[in-house]
Amino acid sequence: MASDLDHDAWALDRDAADPLAGFRAEFLIPQHAGRDLHYFVGNSLGLQPRSAAAAVAEELERWGRQAVEGHFQGERPWMHYHATLREPMARVVGALPQEVVVMNTLSVNLHLLMASFYRPRRERAAILIEAGAFPSDRHAVVSQIRFHGFDPATELIELEADGPNGHISLAAIERVLAEQGHRIALVLWPGVQYRSGQAFDLAAITRLAHARGCAVGFDLAHAAGNLPLALHDSGADFAAWCTYKYLNSGPGAVAAAFVHERHARRPDLPRLAGWWGHRKATRFLMGPEFEPEDGADGWQLSNPPILAMAPIRASLALFDAATLPTLREKSLTLTGCLESLINKHLGAVLDILTPADPQQRGAQLSLRVRGGREHGRALFEHLAAEGVLGDWREPDVIRISPAPLYNRFTDLLAFARSVRAWSLRP
Ligand SMILES: *Cc1c(COP(=O)(O)O)cnc(C)c1O
């Protein structure tokens, strides 16, 4: 019977029937005491695709063999390497290829995009974010407000949760925009909130914010590769995301940025420029004047880091093979199964903070350990010692994120059994 903790037949059956089960073999699974680690931290650092090493080795080999000619020679000349990532990355987030560029890192991209899309004036200088935003995003917006000579004490608006467990309703967003939208220059919102796991309706937020004259940007760090997105159709002005979480591209991997098509030919937009954002056709004439390339490419600064981009190519090939709708289908089942195991067997120990509505969450469930911080730490350490790895968020939250590319139903069973064993300890 599904969700039985004493028998594993149901979990083995579900793994056997999983059409995506074969993708697990495409990843290196860390070992614990001679067995596969039950890894639930793909929301923090995704596992390494087996094909990543060869993709990096190929470019190292070309560097050795071709040196500077590698920019022009071979199947994927370095000069255009970033463009080979454009289409698969655009498919991941539901954007037009021209709207997407792989470059820099997430926090850097947020700053570069805010340089163009956060244009405060005295009467409209505020930025709206969610209360409890990821620290880097908060640091970025506070420093942008200061950079423009405004005071974050008045110009940073942090919307408090109006629901339980840190959930923010669309009605609350609508309300703050109705009351304060006239003075908000930019809404910077998460696709999936990192702490609560709540997923937001990008199109609805964009519509509400644009109706009040605010620019809209999304941080998709916890959404990209987790949920199907329709970024172009959302109408957002810009977005940025990292590739080392659900996108499995390695520690500190190169990030991505989206600029909506309607800004594709806007040489008038202020931007922080570098030579790689200059028009391809004339870049190497090395003229003094900057003329931005059309589309998101026009926000690039530098000659891209090829060795760091190679794992992204390897990883995106897996997303193309699996496809996001199929991944999402498995993810809904997998996370739903985790939820029912917890509700049925572990309710005395764990309290689920993430919305129960599957449309308002991705893969991750954030779990509050009942009984306080020390209790929580003890459970977290017990799980880790048993080869079940989640991640810890102060003061009492364990985040468990089953990734449909490599997690199994038997991983969920191992998690649930381990929690139960801890709760029954003498
Ligand atoms: C992971 C994450 C970051 C990390 O930013 P980096 O620049 O990649 O270090 C920033 N914001 C959010 C919301 C994140 O989830």
Question: Which tokens hold the place of 38?
Answer: 């039950």
Q: 50 or 425: whose pLDDT is higher?
A: 50
The gap from C-alpha 335 to its chain's centroid, in whole angstroms, comes to 17
pLDDT band at residue 414 using 50, 70 and 90 as cut-offs: very high
* CA of residue 282 to ligand 1 center, whole Å: 34
Q: Give the class (CATH, top level) of 9-18+323-423.
A: alpha beta
Q: For helices 51-66 and 306-322, what crossing angle results, to 10°?
A: 140
Q: Is the CB–ligand 1 distance for residue 106 below 6 Å?
A: yes
Task: State pLDDT tens for residues 382-393.
Answer: 999 999 999 999
* CA of residue 242 to ligand 1 center, whole Å: 7
For residues 224 and 65, give the distance between their C-alpha atoms in angstroms, rounded to a whole number. 35
Q: Is the CB–ligand 1 distance for residue 219 below 6 Å?
A: yes
Q: Are 202 and 229 in contact (CB under 8 A)?
A: yes
pLDDT score of 426: 76
Task: State pLDDT tens for residues 271-320.
Answer: 999 999 999 999 988 999 999 999 999 999 999 999 999 999 999 999 99
CATH of domain 56-319: 3.40.640.10
Q: Assess whether pLDDT exceeds 70 at residue 24.
A: yes
Ligand 1 closest atom vs CA 134: 13
Percent of residues, the chain, with pLDDT higher than 70: 99
Q: Identity (one letter) of the amino acid at 186?
A: L
Q: Identity (one letter) of the amino acid at 91?
A: R
For residues 181 and 215, give the distance between their C-alpha atoms in angstroms, rounded to a whole number. 10
Among residues 196, 186, 120, the alpha carbon closest in space to that of 157 is found at 186
User: What is the sign, positive or negative, of the torsion defined by CA atoms of 399, 190, 407, 2?
Assistant: positive
Name the residue with the closest Cα to ligand 1, atom 13: 134
* CA of residue 245 to ligand 1 center, whole Å: 9
* CA of residue 382 to ligand 1 center, whole Å: 28
Q: Is the CB–ligand 1 distance for residue 107 below 6 Å?
A: yes
pLDDT score of 123: 97
User: Average pLDDT for residues 150-155, to the nearest whole number?
Assistant: 98
* CA of residue 68 to ligand 1 center, whole Å: 33
Q: Assess whether pLDDT exceeds 60 at residue 1.
A: no
Residues in the chain: 426
* CA of residue 221 to ligand 1 center, whole Å: 6
pLDDT score of 247: 98
Q: Which residue has the tokens 């009605």?
A: 171
Q: Assess whether pLDDT exceeds 70 at residue 258.
A: yes
* CA of residue 423 to ligand 1 center, whole Å: 34
pLDDT score of 3: 64
Q: Is the CB–ligand 1 distance for residue 239 below 6 Å?
A: no
Q: Identity (one letter) of the amino acid at 154?
A: T
Q: Is the CB–ligand 1 distance for residue 409 below 6 Å?
A: no
For residues 261 and 275, give the distance between their C-alpha atoms in angstroms, rounded to a whole number. 21
Ligand 1 closest atom vs CA 255: 8
The rounded mean pLDDT for the chain is 97
Give domain limits for the chain. 9-18+323-423, 56-319
For residues 20 and 302, give the distance between their C-alpha atoms in angstroms, rounded to a whole number. 38
Q: Assess whether pLDDT exceeds 90 at residue 371.
A: yes
Name the residue with the closest Cα to ligand 1, atom 2: 221
pLDDT score of 378: 96
For residues 243 and 245, give the distance between their C-alpha atoms in angstroms, rounded to a whole number. 6
Tell which one of 192, 242, 243, 401 to mutate to probe ligand 1, the residue whose CB is within 8 A of the most ligand atoms. Answer: 242
The gap from C-alpha 392 to its chain's centroid, in whole angstroms, comes to 18
223's CB contacts (< 8 A; 6+ apart) are: 190, 191, 192, 199, 229, 241, 362
Name the residue with the closest Cα to ligand 1, atom 10: 136
For residue 261, give the H/E element and its range: none
Task: State pLDDT tens for residues 80-136.
Answer: 999 999 999 999 999 999 999 999 999 999 999 999 999 999 999 999 999 999 999
Among residues 292, 288, 287, the alpha carbon closest in space to that of 270 is found at 292
For residues 284 and 48, give the distance between their C-alpha atoms in angstroms, rounded to a whole number. 36
Q: What Rg, from alpha-carbon coordinates, does the chain have?
A: 22
Q: Which residue has the tokens 């954002």?
A: 277
Q: Assess whether pLDDT exceeds 90 at residue 51.
A: yes
* CA of residue 366 to ligand 1 center, whole Å: 18
Beta bridge partners of 310: none
Among residues 27, 308, 357, 323, the alpha carbon closest in space to that of 163 is found at 357
* CA of residue 249 to ligand 1 center, whole Å: 14
Q: Which of these ranges, 72-76, 217-221, 293-297, 385-389, has the smallest mean pLDDT?
A: 72-76
Tell which one of 106, 142, 226 to mutate to probe ligand 1, the residue whose CB is within 8 A of the most ligand atoms. Answer: 106
* CA of residue 18 to ligand 1 center, whole Å: 31
Ligand 1 closest atom vs CA 110: 7
Beta bridge partners of 129: 158
* CA of residue 99 to ligand 1 center, whole Å: 21
Q: Assess whether pLDDT exceeds 60 at residue 2.
A: no
Q: Assess whether pLDDT exceeds 70 at residue 58.
A: yes
Tell which one of 194, 248, 366 to mutate to probe ligand 1, the residue whose CB is within 8 A of the most ligand atoms. Answer: 194
